[in-house]
């Protein structure tokens, strides 16, 4: 079970409060997109869910357990960033297996996981190449592959497609949707791109300056926005 629950979550950096008491319930297997303008707190929320950032107030639970009570390795979380830092001197295969090998994962199991990730992402042909011999989209696939091999319960994506050109973004959106269906895991996806949110999400969380403005299915937000900000951001005529 990998439901993710945020209860009255607050984040302060020094005297500045940047998340003002967020309540967000994400069901096991759901695809939820956090959307909002730059600086509204999307990455900070994601980093707190991943346990990479202290929580100043409130609670975050994954599968019913508080994030900070779970050992990092046992959290069942993998994160994909915008800047996919692949190891330039390693092949694709080595990039995929490196983390597992460092954790002492058995060789046969590592090979199985790498093979499966390569099949899911259709990068079987690229396994012996190095990052500089790959296109932007292929590199992003490898970065997602590094998350898949960890076999997480929860995937966190922080603007993973921002560096790609428009055509590739559309293609990768389809890939990520397919991945969600195939893996059946919980995905939390951060973007400032409304179209990306509308096409990917089971539910969207609209954020503005550290506040949750509205949570709902894409069409519900479109048809019945809570306020003018949501209306303006999601693009309905209200």
Binding site for ligand ADP (CB under 6 A): 13, 18, 36, 38-44
| Complex with ligand ADP: residue 41 or 145, whichever CB lies closer | 41
Helices (H), 161-205: 166-183, 194-200
Instruction: Tell me which of ligand ADP, Mg ion, none is bound by residue 39, counting a contact when its beta carbon lies within the kind-specific cut-off of 5 to 8 angstroms.
Output: ligand ADP
Q: In whole angstroms, what is the distance from residue 12 CA to residue 17 CA?
A: 4
The phi, psi pair for 213, rounded to 5°, reads: -85, -40
Strand pairing category for 31-35 and 154-158: unpaired
Which CB atom, from 18 or from 183, has the smaller least distance to ligand ADP? 18
Cα angle: 196, vertex 202, 207; to 5 degrees: 60
- Cβ closer to Mg ion: 31 or 189? 189
Least distance (Å) between residue 77 CB and Mg ion: 17
Buried b (16+ CB within 10 A) or exposed e, 20-37: bbbebebeebbbbbbbbe
Could you tell which of Mg ion, ligand ADP, none binds residue 87, using a CB distance below 5 to 8 A set by kind? none
Q: Pick the closest to residue 220 from 236, 199, 196, 200 (CA basis).
A: 236
CB-nearer residue toward Mg ion: 19 or 96 = 19
Pick from 199, 198, 201, 206: nearest CA to 227: 206
Among 43, 97, 138, 140, binds Mg ion (CB under 5 A): 43
The least distance separating Mg ion from the CB of residue 43, rounded to whole angstroms, comes to 3
Quick one: what does residue 180 bind among ligand ADP, Mg ion, none, with the CB cut-off 5 to 8 Å set by partner type?
none
139 binds, among ligand ADP, Mg ion, none (CB under 5 to 8 A by kind): none
Minimum distance, C-beta of residue 215 to ligand ADP, in the bound complex (Å) = 16
Q: Summarize as ranges the residues that interact with Mg ion (CB under 5 A).
A: 43
């Amino acid at each position: 079970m990998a439901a993710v629950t945020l209860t009255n979550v607050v984040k302060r950096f020094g005297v500045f409060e940047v998340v003002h008491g967020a309540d967000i319930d994400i069901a096991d297997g759901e695809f939820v997109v956090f959307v909002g303008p730059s600086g509204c707190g999307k990455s900070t929320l994601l980093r707190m869910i991943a346990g990479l950032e202290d929580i100043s107030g409130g609670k975050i639970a994954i599968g019913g357990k508080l994030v900070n009570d779970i050992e990092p390795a046992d959290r069942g979380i993998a994160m994909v960033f915008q800047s996919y830092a692949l190891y330039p001197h390693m092949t694709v295969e080595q990039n995929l297996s490196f983390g597992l090998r460092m954790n002492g994962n058995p060789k046969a199991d590592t090979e199985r996981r790498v093979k499966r990730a390569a099949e899911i992402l259709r990068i079987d042909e690229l396994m012996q190449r190095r990052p500089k011999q790959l296109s932007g989209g292929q590199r992003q696939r490898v970065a997602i592959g590094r998350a898949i091999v960890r076999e997480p319960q929860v995937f966190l994506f922080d603007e993973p497609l921002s560096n790609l050109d428009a055509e590739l973004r559309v293609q990768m959106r389809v890939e990520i949707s397919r991945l969600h269906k195939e893996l059946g895991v919980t995905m939390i996806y951060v973007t400032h791109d409304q179209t990306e949110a509308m096409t990917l999400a089971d539910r969207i969380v609209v954020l503005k300056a550290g506040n949750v403005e509205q949570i709902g299915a894409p069409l519900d937000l479109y048809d019945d926005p809570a306020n003018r900000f949501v209306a303006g951001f999601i693009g309905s005529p209200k």
